[in-house]
Each structure stands twice: as C-alpha cells, then as structure tokens.
Structure 1
Amino acid sequence: MKTSILFFISLLFALCINAQEIISLPHERPENVQWVGEEKAFFSKIWNTEVVCNVASPTMEVFRPDAAIANGTSVVIAPGGGLYALSIESEGNMVARWLNEKGITAFVLKYRLVPTGEDGVQELNEVSSNKFDEFTKMVSAVMPFSVADGLAALQYVRENAAALGVDQNKIGFMGFSAGGAVTQGVAYNATGANRPDFIVPVYSWTSAMPVQKAPENTPLMLVICASDDPLGLATGSIELYNSWLTAGKTAELHMYSKGGHGFGMKKQDLPSDSWIERFYDWGMAEKIIAPVK
C-alpha cells in the first residue's frame, strides 16, 4: 500500500512538471476572416518537423528556466510558416529550451494564421505556387491580427512581469520568417506596455512586412539571415538593418554566406548553426542578458 501511494505521488509530480503552461491572449474576432474547425497540430512530412495550423485564438506557452539561473530576461518567440502554419518545434520549442539553459524565460507564441484545413503546409505550397494573388490577399488580411497578437503577448508579459519572474525592462521579441514579419510589425506599432526592449528578426519575411523608417521608440535589434536564402530575404534583412543604422539606433547584423531559409535550430554543419549563440553574445554585450553563473 505504501509503495502504491509513493508511486502515485511520484507520477503526479512528474505530470505537474511536464504540464504545459498555456496563456490565452485577449483578441477581437475579425469580421473579414473566418476560421472553421479546430487548431491543427501534426508532423509535416513536407517540412519534416512538427507544425501547427489554423490558429484562430492566440495563445503562448511559457518555458521557465531553472530558478537557480533565471536572470530576468524574457523573449516572446514567433515561429515562421508563411502565415499558413507555425514551425512550432525548430523555430519555437527548441529555441525556448535553449534560452532556458541560459536563464532566459521564453514564451512560444501561436499567433493567428490564415484559415486552413487539415494540412496548412500543403495548402501553403499549392496556393503560393498556383494562386499567388489569393495567397497575397489572405496574408495581407491576416497579418494585422498576427501583429496584434504579438503586441498582446508583450503587453501580457510586461503587465505580469512580477508574477512571471521577469524584468519588465528586458522583454524581447524574436521571430522567424513570417514570425520575423510579425516582429517588424510589433516594432512599428508598439506603444507603451506592448513595446519590446529588443527584437530579433531571423530571416524575416520583409516582402510581407515591407521595411519602414525606424520608429521613434526603437528597440535594440539583432538581424539574422543567410545570403543564400532562396526566398531572397537577405536584401530585405540588410535594408532592415540599414533603417536602424540610418536613424542612429542600436542594431547588429549577422549575414551568413550559407544557411538557406528556415534553418531555425536545425543543424546543417554550417556557421549559421551557431546563430543563437551569437544572439546570446549580443545580449550580454548590450546588457540585456546577464551571464549564467
């Protein structure tokens, strides 16, 4: 009997440790975009990674570092996926776990996406290849809501900083590809509590969110991309960096000669594999990250 009780307590403890901490973000239902069915999560054979699609209600999962090494810095992470899906593992969860090892609290954001059926990745491939006008129209319609979700995530973290155990002056936003476009939109539209202290657009989809003049309340920025990005995003990343530089704002650019698009936390045996370590170095240099003791 005693053994059974101990086993039950151990099992309950393990379940609590592994339980997801999900935060639902406030949002308004748009009139011009309608979602049907539930959010979908599956392994995409096309992208060879875990993905999520058909997101109608924004949420974020909290990834907390060990309390012994927590340094107060936090990052909201926006995975990419052409606004039709989220590459939730290699551009989300894996990034969050790496940051946790450095004492950083992470929030993996599921922002609103283009409404899709069972396989948003397949739909993205078909529509972007065969119905480009429709693709552009849908992305343009949903992008404002995706950006609004990013702003809501930042505001939530700042307003609940004490409860979350983070520094309200060290809250960043990191986005990949379409998530990079969301990152730009966040920087361009932030006011007050939803302003990030730093942003990290990684191979940002600058054709979906054109580069604008750096805003007055410009956050620190680190831009990551590869020259051989097959979507031609290197040029936009350079333009984004230059917009900060021209305005006399703090920015850094890492442009790898090889790396392609969508590398995230995938290992390719290339210098671009270490991009996240360069983020950590940059964060310490800018004093927005305290090194783990």
Structure 2
Amino acid sequence: MKKPILFLISLMFVLSINAQEIISLPHERPENVEWIGEEKAFFSEIWNTEVVCNVSSPTMEVFRPDAAIANGTSVVIAPGGGLYALSIESEGNMVARWLNEKGITAFVLKYRLVPTEKDGVQELNETSSNNLEEFKKMIGAVMPYSVADGLTAVKYVRENAATLGVDQNKIGFMGFSAGGAVTQGVAYNAMGANRPDFIVPVYSWTSAMPVQKASENAPLMLVICASDDPLGLASGSIELYNSWLTAGKTAELHMYSKGGHGFGMKKQDLPSDTWIERFYDWGIAEKIITPTK
C-alpha cells in the first residue's frame, strides 16, 4: 500500500512543478471584431514551430526564476506572428526560460489576434498574398486591441508587483515582429501604471505600427534587427532608434548583417544568435538588471 501512495505523492509533486501559472487579463469585447471558437495551439509545418492562433481573450503565462537568484526585473514578452498567430515557443517560452536563468521574471503574453479558423499561419499567407486589402483591414481592426492587451499586461504586473515578487520600477516589454509593433504601441500609448520602464522591439513590424515621435516619458529602448531581414524591417528599426535619439531619449541599436526575420531563440550559427546576451549586457549597463552571482 505504501508504494502506490508514494507514487501518487511523487506524481502530484511533479505535476505541481510543471503546472502552468496563467493570468487572465481584463478586457472589453470589441464590437468590430468577432471570434468564433476557442484559441488553437498546434505545431505549424509552415513555420516549423509551435504556434497559437485565434486568441480572443488575453492571458499571460508566468515564468518565475529560482528564488535564490531572482533580481526583481521582469519582462512581458509578446511573440510575433503577423497578428494571425503567435510563435509561442522560439519567441515566447524559450525567451522566458533564458531570462529565468538570469534571475528575471517573465510573462509570455497571448494578445488578441485576427480571428482565424483552423490554421492562422496558412490564413496569414493566403490573405496577405491574395487579398492584401483584406489583410490590411484585419490588421488595422485588431491592432488597437493587441496594444490594449500589452498595456493591461504592464499595468497588471505593476499593480501586483509585491505578490509577483518583482520591482515595480523594473518592468520591461519585449516584442518580436508583430509583437514588436505591439511593443511600439505600448510605448506610444503608455501613461502612469501601464508604462514599461524599458522596451525591446526585436525586428519590429514598423509598417504595421509606423514610427512616431518619442514621447516625453519614453522608456529606455533597445532595438534588435538584421540588415538582411527579408521583410525590409531594418530601415524601420533604424528609424525607430533615431526617433528616440532625436528626442534625447536613451536608446541602443544592434543591427546584425545577417540573421533574417523571425530568428528569435533559434540557432543559426550567426552573431544574431547572441542578441539576448546583448540585451542582458545592456540591462546591466542601464541598471535595470542586477547580474546574477
């Protein structure tokens, strides 16, 4: 009898370790966008990675560092995917786990996306190729809600900083591609509790969120991109950096000659593979990250 009991106790312990900590974010249902069915998670053969699509209710998954090395810094992570999907693994979970190793608490954000049916990646490719006007219309319709979710995420972390074990003055927002556009939108619209202390737009989709003049309360910014980005986002990243520089705001730019688009945490045996280490160096230099010992 003892062995089955011990087995059950061990199983419950393992499950508790691996249990996801999901935070549902408050939001209002829009009148001009309608989702049918639940969000979908699957492995995309097209992108060769795990994706999530048809997100109608924003949530965050919490990734906590070991308490012995936790330094109080936190980062909300917005994966990319053209606002039709989220590249949840290489631009989300893998980033969060790396940050945890450096003592940083991470929150992987599922922000609202364009309503899709079975495969958001396939629908993204088909719509953007065959019906560009419809594609732009859908992107324009959902973007304000995606940005609103980003702002709500920052506000939630700040207002619950004590419970979450983070410093309310060291909250960052990092986004990839479409998530980079959301990052820009968060910076442009932030005020008070929903303002991040720093932002990291990575190969940001600046054609979806045009570069604007940096505001008076613009957060610290680190821009990451590759010159050979096939979507032509290098020039937009430079423009974004220059907008901060012109306004006298703190900014840094890392432009890799090669890396392409969507590299995230993927290893390509290129200098862009170490972009996240450069983020860590930058954070230490700007005193928003206390290095682990």
Give the TM-score, by structure 1 length.
1.00
- Quote the residue 1:17 is aligned against: 17
Quick check: 1:217 aligned with 2:217?
yes
1:56 maps to: 56
Shift of 1:183: 0.1
- Aligned residue in 1 for 2:197: 197
Which residue number corresponds to residue 110 of structure 2?
110
CA distance in 2 between partners of 1:135 and 1:2 (Å): 61
Say if 2:180 is the partner of 1:180: yes
1:211 alignment partner, SS class: coil
How does 1:142-161 map onto structure 2 within 5 Å? 142-161=142-161
Counterpart residue number, 1:266: 266
Q: Which residue of 1 aligns with 2:129?
A: 129
Q: CA RMSD in A?
A: 0.4
Letter in 2 for 1:169: N
Aligned-pair identity (%)? 89
Give the secondary structure class of the aligned counterpart of 2:174. Answer: strand
Q: Give CA deviations for 1:222-264 in whole Å, capped at 9, x if unaligned.
A: 0000000000000000000000000000000000000000000
- Tell me the residue number matched to 2:2: 2
Query: In the TM superposition, what is the alpha-carbon distance from 1:7 to its structure 2 partner?
Result: 1.3
The residue type paired with residue 173 of structure 1 is F
Distance 2:241 2:265 in 1: 23
Paired letter, 1:143: M
2:275 maps to 1:253: no
Mark the runs of 5 or more structure 2 residues left unpaired by the alignment: none
Which secondary structure does the structure 2 equivalent of 1:222 belong to?
A: strand
Deviations 1:152-178 (A, max 9, x none): 000000000000000000000000000
Structure 1 counterpart of 2:188, one-letter code: Y
Q: How many angstroms apart in 1 are the aligned matches of 2:37 and 2:21? A: 23
Residues 98-138 of structure 1: per-residue CA shift (max 9 Å, x gap): 00000000000000000000100000000000100000000
Counterpart CA distance in 2 for 1:216 and 1:4 is 63
After superposition, residues 157-168 of structure 1 pair within 5 angstroms as: 157-168=157-168
CA shift at 1:2, angstroms?
A: 1.7
CA–CA separation in structure 1 for the residues paired with 2:282 and 2:33 = 39
**2:215, 2:200 → 1: CA distance?**
16
CA distance in 2, matches of 1:215, 1:78: 22
Q: CA deviation at 1:143?
A: 0.1
User: 1:6, CA displacement in angstroms?
Assistant: 1.4
**How many pairs are equivalent?**
293
What is aligned with 2:39? 39
Q: What letter corresponds to residue 31 of structure 1 in structure 2?
A: E
Q: Which moved more, 1:112-121 or 1:3-12?
A: 3-12
Listed as ranges, the gaps of 5+ residues in structure 1 are: none
Aligned match of 1:171: 171
- Amino acid corresponding to residue 9 of structure 1 in structure 2: I
Which residue is equivalent to 2:241? 241
Q: Per the alignment, in what secondary structure is the counterpart of residue 124 of structure 1?
A: helix
- Letter of the 1:161 counterpart: A
Amino acid at match of 1:80: G
Equivalent residue runs for 1:275-290 within 5 Å: 275-290=275-290
